[in-house]
């Protein structure tokens, strides 16, 4: 549960394919401007993330939004920072105005299905099946 609307996308980095992903990034030509980039193996909406967890666990998982004020109440000392973070994601996206590299950009994997890498990564986690 977050304050994000269900259709807002977040970028995720799945460790199950991280080595292949990083290898592809490091084999690319050096950017002469040395512009920093963010990297993500997958980009999924909150609804797609819930569906990925449902598929990986075999349980019914539904994404629900909560008011930002609930984050602040339930997380004293840092809830307001969480609320600010989610407000930023909703307004500017995960990367803001930074360049984003994803798996398709480096041909590390290919899929037309949102959440494909997240689902594959979750399927490999033993703890999530319990």
19-45 burial code (b ≥16 CB/10 A, e <16): eebeebeeeeeeeeeeeeeebbbbbbb
71-125 tens-digit pLDDT: 889 999 999 999 999 999 899 888 777 777 766 666 544 444 445 455 555 555 4
Q: Do 71 and 3 meet the contact criterion of CB atoms below 8 Å apart?
A: yes
**pTM (two decimals):** 0.66
79-89 tens-digit pLDDT: 999 999 999 98
Q: Which helix (H) or strand (E) holds 12?
A: strand 9-12
Q: Name the DSSP class of 29.
A: P
28 confidence band (pLDDT: 50, 70, 90): confident
């Amino acid at each position: 549960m977050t304050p994000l609307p269900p259709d807002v996308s977040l970028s995720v980095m799945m460790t199950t394919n991280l080595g292949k992903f990083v290898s592809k990034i490091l084999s690319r030509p050096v950017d002469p401007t040395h512009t920093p980039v963010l990297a993500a193996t997958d980009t999924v909406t909150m609804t797609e993330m819930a569906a990925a967890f449902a598929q990986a666990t075999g349980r019914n998982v539904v994404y629900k939004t909560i008011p930002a004020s609930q984050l602040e109440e339930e997380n004293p000392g840092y809830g307001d920072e969480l609320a600010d973070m989610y407000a930023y994601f909703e307004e500017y996206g995960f990367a803001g105005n930074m360049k984003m590299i994803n798996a398709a950009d480096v041909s590390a994997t290919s899929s037309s299905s949102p959440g494909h890498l997240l689902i594959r990564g979750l399927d490999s986690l033993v703890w999530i099946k319990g």
